[in-house]
Structure formats: C-alpha cells, structure tokens
Chain A
Amino acid sequence: MKLPPLLRLVVRNFASNLDPLTIIIRFGQPVITIVVLGTMFSSIISTNVTGGGSYTAFLVPGMIAFQMITGGVVSGNLFWLDRRWAMVEQIFSGPFRRSEYLGGLVLTTLLFALVGVGIMMLVGLPFIGIPSLSPLGVATVLLTVALGSVFFAGLLIALGTRLRSANAYFTIQSFLQLFVIFLSTVYYPITSNTPKALAVVFYVNPLTYAADTIRDAFGGTLGIADLESLGVLGALAVVAFGAAIWGFRTMELGPIQ
C-alpha cells in the first residue's frame, strides 16, 4: 500500500536522520536529569519553594515541558541538514508539495515530542503519584507540549531558512535552548527572592507557560490562567510557524556551508 506523501516524508525523516544513538540521547538526557537532579536536590531544596511537593515532583512536569524543545530541535536540525545536504531541493523536485514537506516536519516534531512526553510520564509518575493526572490533565499536557513544540520547530525552521552557515545555525540554536531552558520555571520556580528583571524574562518565555500549565495539570489545579497560557502558546505557535512558512517561501535555494 502506498502511504500518502506526508506520511512518506515523516517515515523518511525518522529513517534517514534519526539514528538510534541520537534518539536514546534525546530521550535519555531528561530521564537522567529527573533521576540525578531530582535525587540530588530533593534533600536540599525546601518543599516551601517547590509548592509543597518534592523537588523531583516539581522537576517532572518541567522535564515534560522540556519535550517541546526536544521535538522542536529535532525538526529544526532535520530541516537544517536537509538544506545543507540539498535534500530540500531534491525533495522539492519530487512528487511532494512544499506544504507537505513542512507538514512532515511538524508531524515529526509532534511525534517526537509526544513520545518524549510518554517516556517522561512513565519515568516521572512514580515520583508524583499516578492518580494525580486526570483525563483533562493528560489532554492539557499533550496540547501544551504540542503547541510548544510547534512553536520551537517554527522558530528553528525560520532561523534555518535565513542562515547559510552551519556554525551560525547551531550556535544560535544552542544559545536559544540555553536561554529558554534556564530562564524558565523548568528547574526552579519564581519566588519572592527572584530578581524582578529576571522574573519578567521568565514570564515572556513560552517554556514557563508550558511548565506552569503542566504543573497545574498534574496538581489538579487547572484554571483560567492555564487556558490563557494555552492561548499564548497557541498564538506563539501560529506566529513562529507563520515565520517558518514565510522563510520557506522566500529562502534561497542552492549550496550552503
């Protein structure tokens, strides 16, 4: 049976660019973080800071939110490598619409991010307590990560359409990751001790919205604020993906370094 072009592209994305080692590292890193950091810091970080639960229980939703970056980075890098090795042009010369190529990247992002969510839940739920997540909570977690990963994928694809140097792309991508991860509530909450300027940066970071919403989903405290967070994430996803489409339509073809 012949798969639709979009799905053929997704299969190709996984088969051609994601070797087992990359997959293990991408998913293994957050798992190790939960186990190592969670165990290390649970004994020294006060439960007052983490809202009553252990530091591990605080960290798990953060690591689940982190999957939106993992998914986005996978797609961004896939696109960059396809562009660098002229596979974008080669695929465009074949039986595919350009929208299908972009759609394939989005679907790859979502699959990667949502599989990551599943793994993090399997690893993390024992630390949090399985009954803590309602069906609405699960749906919220999945939607949050899906929107966040589309945002990051869009951002990195847009970046990839503009840059012509691998060094520049990977340097900016690493810097963005560092900035987004450490200036968010993934690893630590915003408290009264957080410098005001830093707190502002935390609040303009989409990962903060995602991490906080996922924490509320786990805590069973979903509310209007979370709906607003989802709205912000959705809007950012639309803007970033719009930028990716624009970049895609106007990017220069031909050899890059």
Chain B
Amino acid sequence: MVKSSAGFAAGYRTTMPSDQIALETFDLGYAYAPGRFAIRHLDIDLHRGEVLGLLGRNGAGKTTTVRLLTTLLPPTEGTAVVLGQDVRYGGRALRSRLGVVLQAESLDFVTVERNLTLYAFLWGVPREVAKTRAEEMIELFELGEARRRKPWALSGGERRRFQVARELMHDMEILFLDEPTVGLDAIARRRILRYLKERARHGLSIVFTTHILHEADMLCDRIAVFHLGQLLALDTAEELKRKHAGAREVSVTFTAPPAPEVRTELARELEARGAVLLERVEDLGAPETKVAFLAPHAEELLPWLSHWAQSHSLELERMSVEEATLEAAFLGMIGDLDSTPTDEAKGRLRPSGALPPGRIGGLT
C-alpha cells in the first residue's frame, strides 16, 4: 500500500510494500467532546523494524495517538491500520500482537519477580519460557535487588524499568512505549535504549514517545512532531535539524583583539547577513579576541568571515559552529507556533498534560 503525505506532515513517506508497513494512519482523529479534538488529521506510518519517535509538548496528542493505535480509544475520525488490521475492528487479535508500556504506572500487588511471571501467564507464555525470560529481564533491567520487593517499595526509576521489563515478557510485533524513560538515570536510560535499538534491528517495530530529545535523536529512525493535536512534521532527525534547527551559534576567535571600529564594522556586516550578535553593542569596544553570534545559515557565513578577516589583515585562530540539535529544531517548529495558535487550535486547547477523557467503547 502506498500513501502520500497529507495535512501538516512535511516529511517523507516512502513507497513500501504493505507487508513491510507495520502501521498507517489515515486522517486519524479523536474528539473527546463534539468539536474538541485531542488529535486530528493524523497521517503517519511505521515500517517493520523501524523506531518512530513521537515528540511534542504535554497535551500535544502523543498519548492519545498511542491509545488510538493500541485500540484503547476508538477513533472518531479517519482510521488506522495496524499490522494489516483496522484498529476499529482488530480487537483482541490485533492487541495480541502488540506490546504497550503506558505512561501511567500499572502494577499488581505481588513481588517484581511474580509480577513478571504473572504478566507472562496473562499473555499465555509457557511457564518455563516465562521463568527464563523473567531472569533475563531482571538481569537486563538491573532489578536483581528488587526482585523480591513489591512494586510500591521500588524507587521511581525501578518502577519504570520494571514496567518496561514486564512488557518485554511476551512476544510482539510492535512495541508502543509512552515515555518509558521518565525518572531513569542516564546509565539505565542508555541501557534500555540500546536494548530497544537491538530489538528493532531484529525486526521489532517501535513507537516511542519522549520529552528527552537527544534520546529520540539517538533511538528513532524517524520522528513525528506534534503540536496542539496536529502533526507538524514527520522526518528523520537529521532532516528535521537541517530544516528547522534555525540559527546556530558561531564563534570566531582572532589571534589578537581587533580594533573597536573593526569589531563594530564586523557587527554591522554580520547583522546585514541576518546574524544576531551575542554581546551588547557597548561591549564591542572591549579588547576581546572573540566574537560570537547566532546565524540562520551558519556554514555559509564561514567562507565570508575568512575572507573578511583576510581583507582586514586579521588572523583567525579558531572558528566554530555549534552542532544543530533536535532541541533547536523542535523549538524552531514549536516555539513560534506556540505564541500564535490558530483559532481552531485555541478551541481545542485543554489543560497541558491532561489526558482526554476517553471512552472505552464497546465490549469487544
């Protein structure tokens, strides 16, 4: 099945045979009250073995999207096809092929170890397989000391690790992770991300929501950026950075401080090229060797700077351009929009972070 990009989505959607597509959405939307949408006009896809990151502010629609794709919420507009099945009718058969780590902590009142085996039992995993997997998960997620403790006696990080570990007790084709690394230390986070990357390499498709942008940068093959319930962009991290990271910091160091009038001239020239100086005008007279500024097309300025220095008989010691970050790209996309929401978006706004009141739907 081939699909074209639509709506706000600025990224690419590759032509893929349907058996290589894990999920696709078609103008997907969910209204929690008439005319009040948590998510709307969503067109995304996920390939087999791909990691798709969902980024956005609190309340942007990421969790609603996960709940729609995992059949926890029925779409009120459009639809989604997950593993070849329409989410509206997939029911149990579809859910049995998915894994879901919810944002909310969910637990049973037994020890960590028993929680793991009990969850595997719920999924129909044979007892011996469950025992082996529980040991693997306890080892992988460093839950050895906590294995005999009940979940409420765990730290926040341990609980989150436990929750991810528990979901990996059963087989699945797509894993949905809603902010799985909240509260984890850097080492635990890297360990989990490495493991997920490895699983993706072996064919597991992953949908991953996070607020930690460098995490998304590290793990995700593509990233969908949400804002006020709409998809702003769907692309690789590199493309998002290239298109949206905006101005980057450039610093130039001369071997000797330029004369104040030369620094002022440089400032004027840079500003004429769209750069913004990172020091006050009155400080330009100080005997500084360094000039720092923000420039939208930083790389393009470097040859000009080199030429300008030469023409003023100044020797350059060092020139550096700050690396484009996903955070800068994200802020570039969200920042401006956030201050001027459209009328439609204003009508949809709900308290930041609040989940839309979802109705469960039929007893299917």
Query: Given contacts A8-B122, A94-B95, A95-B123, is CB(A86)–CB(B363) below 8 Å?
Result: no
B100/A90 in contact, CB under 8 A = yes
Closest CB of chain B to A56's CB: distance in Å? Answer: 36
**Looking at the complex, which one of A11, A12, A86 makes contact with B104 (CB distance below 8 Å)?**
A86
Closest to A81 in B: B109
Provide the bound-state CA to CA distance between A16 and B72, in Å: 23
Q: Does A228 contact B (CB under 8 A)?
A: no
Q: Are B360 and A248 in contact (CB under 8 A)?
A: yes
- Cβ-based interface call for B358 (8 A): yes
Which of A97-105, A115-123, A194-202, A212-220 is the interface stretch?
A: A97-105
**In the complex with contacts A87-B106, A89-B106, A255-B104, A95-B124 CB distance below 8 A:** yes
- Given A89-B72, A95-B95, A253-B72, CB of A19 within 8 Å of CB of B360: no
Quick check: B360 and A98 within 8 Å, CB to CB?
yes
Known A19-B109, A87-B106, A249-B363; judge A92-B118 contact (CB<8 A): no
**Interface assignment of B79: CB less than 8 Å from any CB of chain A:** no
Whether A178 sits at the interface, judged by CB under 8 Å, is no
- Across the interface, B118 reaches (CB within 8 A) one of A16, A93, A95, A253, namely A16
B340 at interface, CB cutoff 8 A = no
Q: Please report which residues of chain A, range 219-257, place their CB below 8 angstroms from some CB of chain B when the two chains form the complex.
A: 245, 248-255
Do A91 and B104 have beta carbons less than 8 Å apart? Answer: no
| List of A residues within 8 angstroms of B123 by Cβ | 94-95
Task: Determine whether A203 belongs to the interface, using a CB cutoff of 8 Å to chain B.
Answer: no
A90 touches B106 (CB 8 A): yes
Q: Which residues of chain A from 55 to 97 have any CB-CB distance to chain B below 8 Å in the complex? A: 81, 85-87, 89-97
Question: In the complex, A11→B362 CA distance in Å?
Answer: 24
Assess the B110–A15 pair: CB atoms within 8 A. yes
Scoring A3, A9, A95 by chain B CB atoms within 10 A of each residue's CB, the highest score goes to A95
A253 near B106 with CB under 8 A, answer: no
Q: How distant is the Cα of A98 from the Cα of B360 in the complex, in angstroms?
A: 9
CA distance A123 to B357 in the complex (A): 48
Contact pattern, B 125-162, Cβ under 8 Å of A = 1, otherwise 0? 01000000000000000000000000000000000000
Known interface pairs A17-B108, A93-B72; A98-B364 also in contact (CB < 8 Å): yes
Residue from B98, B106, B121, B355 in contact with A12 in the complex, judged by beta carbons closer than 8 Å: B121
When chains A and B are docked, how far (Å) is the Cα of A9 from the Cα of B119? 10
Q: Contact at A8–B124, with CB atoms within 8 Å?
A: yes
Query: Which chain B residues border A255 with CB–CB below 8 Å?
Result: 104, 355
Question: In residues 344-364 of chain B, which contact A (Cβ within 8 Å)?
Answer: 355, 357-364
CB B63 to nearest CB in A, in angstroms, measures: 9
Question: Within 8 Å CB of A249, what residues of B?
Answer: 359-363
Residue of A nearest to B364 (CB): A97
Inter-chain contacts of A9 with B (CB < 8 A): 122
Q: Which residue of B lies closest to A9 (CB)?
A: B122
B107, CB-defined interface residue at 8 Å: yes
List the B side residues contacting A16 at CB < 8 Å: 108-110, 118
Residues in A neighbouring B364, C-beta threshold 8 A: 97-99
Bound Cα distance A85, B152 (Å): 11
Question: Would you give the shortest CB distance from B187 to chain A, in whole angstroms?
Answer: 27
Write the nearest CB–CB distance from A251 to chain B, whole angstroms: 6
Q: Is A252 within 8 A of B357, CB to CB?
A: yes
Residues of B within 8 A of A17 (CB): 108-109
- The reply on B92 being an interface residue by CB < 8 A is yes
Q: Which residues of B contact A95 (CB under 8 A)?
A: 92, 95-96, 123-124
Most chain A CB inside 10 Å of its own CB: which residue of B105, B108, B118, B362 = B108
Residue B70 is within 8 A (CB to CB) of chain A in the complex: yes
Q: A2-B124, A12-B108, A95-B124 are in contact. Are A90 and B359 (CB under 8 A)?
A: no
Please, which residue of chain A has its CB at the minimum distance from the CB of B70? A93
For B354, the closest partner residue in chain A by CB is A254
Judged by a CB distance under 8 angstroms, whether B102 is at the interface is: yes
Is A8's CB under 8 angstroms from B355's CB?
A: no
Question: Is B183 at the interface (CB under 8 A from chain A)?
Answer: no
- Report how far A90 CA is from B123 CA in the complex, Å: 12
Question: Measured between alpha carbons, how far is A197 from B204 in the docked complex, in Å?
Answer: 67
Query: Smallest Cβ distance from B327 to chain A, in angstroms?
Result: 28
Could you say which of A15, A86, A252 contacts B106, with CB atoms under 8 Å apart?
A86
Contact (A92, B72) CB under 8 Å given A8-B122, A17-B109, A97-B91: yes
CA A254 – CA B67 in complex, angstroms? 11
Chain A: minimal CB distance from B149 (Å): 15
Q: Judging by beta carbons under 8 Å apart, are A94 and B122 in contact?
A: yes
13 residue pairs A–B, Cβ–Cβ below 8 Å: A3-B124, A15-B110, A16-B109, A86-B105, A89-B102, A94-B96, A95-B95, A95-B123, A99-B363, A248-B363, A249-B360, A254-B357, A255-B355
Q: A2-B126, A89-B106, A96-B95 are in contact. List 19 more A-B contacts (CB 8 A).
A: A8-B124, A16-B110, A17-B108, A85-B106, A86-B102, A90-B100, A91-B122, A92-B72, A95-B123, A95-B124, A97-B92, A99-B364, A251-B359, A251-B360, A252-B359, A253-B357, A253-B358, A254-B104, A254-B355
Give 6 nearest A-B pairs by CB, closest first.
A95-B96, A86-B106, A16-B108, A254-B355, A93-B100, A90-B106
Interface residues of chain B, those whose CB is within 8 Å of chain A, are 67, 70-73, 91-92, 95-96, 98, 100, 102, 104-110, 114, 118, 121-124, 126, 355, 357-364
